[in-house]
């Protein structure tokens, strides 16, 4: 549903800002769909042949790249926001114009790409944190999501750690996590709890994590390489 102003003179601006009629960009991941499917099958065979998740991750040799959303990654980020349902803490469907405005107003918006011995998984994760209006020293996790193709690899901890470090660099002392349940996003329900956040009293679905100076507690497992590129 699109909210439009009372005056017809404002209809055009409202429709443009909604993003509902944005042209759908063909992303690198769209073009590589067949290759991605084949490499996923190879990963599953490796998982079946290894004795534990840790053994699988060591054998997989993951390399995670994380960077700030920019014009070249914006189409894929918007695509993930629009279609990711399972590991998605809020399922907010921000369009390109919305996301650009959020970044312009101080949001931390990051993408995550995963590569491994079988090839490039593509851009598979997005995190957006915005300054919390009710707390001068906190960022609120507006969106946190990952493609279902990479669930179970613990990569979400690398992405959250990158958000925490960037928030702390601005002077923030806390992250506020949000979980808004839907019919499909149960896989993300325990994410903030498992990451060490504490439930906020009398605020269902909201969690808080204090940010120390070094954010060492949010370091990802020593099972893969993480590179923050921008």
As a whole number of angstroms, the distance between CA 57 and CA 223 comes to: 6
30 domain residue, yes or no = yes
- On the question of pLDDT at 110 being above 50, the answer is yes
At 20, the pLDDT band (50, 70, 90 cuts) reads low
Return all residues near 153 (Cβ < 8 A) that are at least 6 apart.
Answer: 57, 60, 62, 114, 224
Q: According to the model, what pLDDT value does residue 23 have?
A: 47
- Three-state SS for 140? strand
Span 37-52, average pLDDT: 90
171 domain residue, yes or no = yes
Neighbours of 230 (CB within 10 A): 11
Give 173-223 as a DSSP string: -EEEEE----SS-GGGTTHHHHTT-EEPTT-TTEEEEE--SS-GGGPPPTT
Phi (first) and psi of residue 193, to 5 degrees: -60, -50
51 domain residue, yes or no = yes
Q: According to the model, what pLDDT value does residue 166 have?
A: 95
- On the question of pLDDT at 76 being above 60, the answer is yes
35 domain residue, yes or no = yes
As a whole number of angstroms, the distance between CA 55 and CA 65 comes to: 21
7 DSSP assignment: S
Structure token pair of residue 158: 């690398």
- The structure tokens 């969106």 sit at 143
39 domain residue, yes or no = yes
- On the question of pLDDT at 146 being above 80, the answer is yes
pLDDT top residue among 114 and 5:
114
At 212, the pLDDT band (50, 70, 90 cuts) reads confident
Q: Are 147 and 27 in contact (CB under 8 A)?
A: no
3 domain residue, yes or no = no
Q: Give me the CATH number covering residue 157.
A: 3.40.630.30
Span 55-69, average pLDDT: 96
Structure token pair of residue 143: 């969106």
1 domain residue, yes or no = no
Q: What is the mean pLDDT of the chain?
A: 88
Q: How many distinct structural domains can be found in the chain?
A: 1
List the domain range (segments joined by +) for residue 65. Answer: 8-228
At 73, the pLDDT band (50, 70, 90 cuts) reads very high
2 domain residue, yes or no = no
């Amino acid at each position: 549903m699109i909210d439009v102003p009372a005056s017809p003179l404002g209809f055009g601006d409202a429709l443009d800002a909604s993003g509902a009629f944005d042209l759908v960009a063909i992303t690198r991941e769209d073009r590589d769909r067949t290759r991605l499917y084949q490499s996923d099958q190879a990963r599953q065979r490796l998982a079946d042949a290894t004795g534990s998740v840790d053994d699988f991750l060591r054998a997989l040799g993951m390399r995670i790249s994380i960077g700030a959303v920019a014009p070249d990654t914006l189409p894929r980020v918007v695509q993930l926001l629009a279609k990711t349902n399972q590991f998605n803490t809020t399922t907010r469907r921000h369009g390109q114009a919305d996301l650009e405005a959020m970044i312009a107003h101080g949001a931390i918006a990051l993408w995550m790409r995963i590569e491994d011995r079988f090839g490039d998984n593509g851009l598979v994760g997005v995190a957006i944190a915005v300054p919390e209006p009710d707390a001068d020293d906190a960022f609120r996790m507006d969106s946190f999501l990952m493609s279902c193709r990479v669930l179970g690899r613990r990569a979400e901890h690398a992405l959250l750690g990158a958000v925490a470090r960037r928030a702390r660099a601005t002077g923030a002392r806390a992250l506020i996590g949000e979980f808004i349940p839907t019919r499909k996003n149960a896989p993300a329900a325990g994410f903030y709890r498992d990451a060490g956040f504490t439930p906020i009293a009398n605020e269902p679905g909201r969690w808080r994590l204090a940010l120390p100076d070094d954010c060492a507690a949010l370091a990802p497992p020593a099972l893969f390489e993480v590179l923050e590129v921008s």
